Amino acid sequence: MSAVSQPGASLGRVETRRTVLFTEDRPLVLESGERIAPVEVAYETYGERNADGSNAVFICHALTGDANAAGHHGDPARPGWWDNIIGPGRPIDTDRFFVVCPNLLGGCQGTTGPSSTDPSTGRPYGLRFPIFSVGDLVTVHRALAAHLEVPRPLAVVGGSLGGMQALQWALDYPDDLGAAVIIAATARLTAQNIAFSAVARAAILRDPDFRGGDYHEHGQPAYGLSLARMIAHITYLSEEAMREKFGRRLQNSEVPRPGFDVDFQVESYLEHQGTSFLNRFDALSYLYLTRCMDYFDPFADEAEAVLRLHEGRTRFLLVSFDTDWRFDTSHSKEIVRVLLAAHRQVSFREIASPWGHDSFLLEIPEYHRTVQAFLRQLANGNGH
């Protein structure tokens, strides 16, 4: 197995920029018909845009990501969430590509979301923020692409919810994209997926501090949000990964201390994930974005989806991980099946990795090598 050639350097210090893409005069019209204005988007770009913007690679982040995909904001020890794959000489090579990563609509890291100020009341939207779809996320991404003078991105790349956005983009705008790279994603959540989301949302909604979504003067529903994160984290790791990482090891002692305090390492890990999440994420965004995933079902009318995909020129790379039980390989293969039916050019690979759903964020040589080779030949105009 050969490693990714030239791992390359980090981008160093980067900055998040903001731009207002929809205004009172030109509001964002959602698929539901509801309107939102203004809509501000936080985003970062890395690398140089070429003359016609045809070297743009658009990154769609997952549920709790943000615009800081790569590089750092002052502390090199705290790089962006996908720093291992984006950078000079890295698989998403900023020496070749103009890389764009926005925070998505409904997020809480600079882009307008349910905790932003509702201009009609001067107070946070709360639960008055309209329900939006993955298609609406794509509408905002396309507005950002237009703002950056990128009429046709070379590729859209995303893992998990990010991959769902890439799929929706290819489906809604078949001539828009050179390629879609869809990693550890799905075209349809299973009942089990929705069940986990439902429990996480119940934890938030039933926290007395949630206050019907109007918690902003009092502080977050910390109990519910951290519990939601703990539940989700169980689904991100495989059983194998948990066994390897924690086993039944104890946190602070040689012998068990029976009682109800944190004793096992896995408990301590989940507590930490839950608590640290409070500093960077918003309970309302969590509700809206998980709901957006639940309703995602672009192949509900399969015949129509096949027809729409058939018109396009988008090429596809799908990657799954063999221990991912959140969106296991059958989810990716289902997307492959529909893309093949539509006569699209599809490449697909299941990567061996012990780390479960989280694998898409990790530096796994065969995975990175696959993404690198696919993007490279796109850039070389090797398409047929």
Partner 1 sequence: MRADLQVVADLVPPGSEVLDLGCGDGSLLQHLMQRRGCRGSGVEISDEGFHACLERGVPVLQGDIDQGLDDVADGHYDVVVLSQTLHALRRPAFVVEEMMRVARMAILSFPNFGHWPLRMNLAVRGRMPVSGFLPYPWYDTPNIHLCTILDFEDLVTERGLEIDRRVLLDSEGRPAHRRAIRRPNLLAAAVVYRLRAPGL
Q: Which is nearer to partner 1, 172 or 302 (CB)?
A: 302
Which backbone phi and psi does 22 adopt, to 5 degrees? -130, 135
Q: Which is nearer to partner 1, 229 or 344 (CB)?
A: 344
> Is residue 206 near partner 1 by the rule CB under 8 A?
no
Reported as half-sphere exposure (CB side, CA atoms, 13 A), residue 135 has a value of: 13
- How far is CA 239 from its chain centroid? 23
Q: Which is nearer to partner 1, 97 or 286 (CB)?
A: 97
> Is residue 6 near partner 1 by the rule CB under 8 A?
no
| Alpha-carbon torsion angle 220, 221, 223, 226, nearest 10 | -60
* Minimum CB–partner distance for residue 191 and partner 1 (Å): 22
> Is residue 308 near partner 1 by the rule CB under 8 A?
no
> Is residue 303 near partner 1 by the rule CB under 8 A?
no
- Contact criterion met (CB below 8 Å) for 282 and 108: yes
The Cα 136–Cα 29 span in angstroms is 8
The Cα 24–Cα 35 span in angstroms is 9
Sole binder of partner 1 in the list 291, 315, 357, 368 (CB under 8 A): 315
Sole binder of partner 1 in the list 50, 343, 362, 363 (CB under 8 A): 343
* Minimum CB–partner distance for residue 331 and partner 1 (Å): 13
Other beta carbons within 10 angstroms of residue 42's beta carbon come to: 20
Sole binder of partner 1 in the list 120, 253, 279, 382 (CB under 8 A): 382
> Is residue 49 near partner 1 by the rule CB under 8 A?
no
Q: Which is nearer to partner 1, 6 or 252 (CB)?
A: 6
* Minimum CB–partner distance for residue 162 and partner 1 (Å): 21
CA-atom Rg of the chain in angstroms: 21
Q: Which of 321, 285, 299 is nearest to 61 (CA)?
A: 285
Q: Which is nearer to partner 1, 62 or 346 (CB)?
A: 346
User: In whole angstroms, how far apart are CA 84 and each of 4, 78, 227, 361?
Assistant: 11, 12, 29, 8
Residues 347-366 that bind partner 1 (CB under 8 A): 347-350, 366
Q: Determine how β-strand 92-93 pairs with β-strand 35-36.
A: unpaired
Binding segment for partner 1 (CB under 8 A), chosen from 134-142, 210-218, 246-254, 370-378, is 370-378
Binding segment for partner 1 (CB under 8 A), chosen from 92-100, 227-235, 242-250, 332-340, is 332-340
Binding segment for partner 1 (CB under 8 A), chosen from 28-36, 132-140, 290-298, 346-354, is 346-354
Active site residues: 160, 324, 357
For 300, the 3-state DSSP assignment is coil
Q: Which is nearer to partner 1, 57 or 140 (CB)?
A: 57
> Is residue 209 near partner 1 by the rule CB under 8 A?
no
- Residue 213 DSSP class: G
* Minimum CB–partner distance for residue 373 and partner 1 (Å): 4
Count of residues that interact with partner 1, criterion CB under 8 A? 27
Q: Which residue has the tokens 């989806």?
A: 305
Q: Which of 118, 141, 94 is nearest to 36 (CA)?
A: 118
For 86, the 3-state DSSP assignment is strand
- Contact criterion met (CB below 8 Å) for 319 and 167: no
The Cα 178–Cα 260 span in angstroms is 54
Q: Which of 169, 167, 328, 346 is nearest to 238 (CA)?
A: 328
User: Applying CB under 8 A, which residues contact partner 1?
Assistant: 1, 315, 317, 333, 336-337, 340-341, 343, 345-350, 366, 369-370, 373-374, 376-378, 380, 382-384
